[in-house]
Structure 1
Amino acid sequence: MQVNKETTIAIPADPNDPEDFDVSVAGLERARMGRRFRILRHRLGLSQTEFAAVYGIPVANLRQYELARHMPPPAVRAYLKVIEAEPEMVRRVIAG
Structure 2
Amino acid sequence: MASSKILIGMRQAVAYARGEAVGVRETTVKTPASVDVKAIREGLGLSQSEFARQFGFSTSSIRNWEQGHRYPEGPARVLLKVIEIDPEVVRKALSA
| CA offset digits 1:35-92 (Å, max 9, x no partner) | x111111111100000000000111111100000011111111111111111011111
TM-score normalized with structure 2 length: 0.61
Which SS does the other structure have where 2:57 is aligned? coil
Bigger Rg, structure 1 or 2? 2
Gaps spanning 5+ residues in structure 1: where? Answer: 1-31
Match of 1:53 in 2: 53
Q: What percentage of aligned pairs have identical amino acids?
A: 37
Equivalent residue pairs, number: 63
Q: Does 1:87 align with 2:78?
A: no
Task: From the two aligned structures, give the one with the greater strand fraction.
Answer: 1
Query: For the residues of structure 2 that align with 1:59 and 1:95, how far apart are their CA atoms?
Result: 19
RMSD: 1.3
- Relative to its length, the structure with more helix (as a share) is 2
Q: Structure 2: state its 5+ residue gaps.
A: 1-33
Structure 1 length as normaliser, TM-score? 0.61
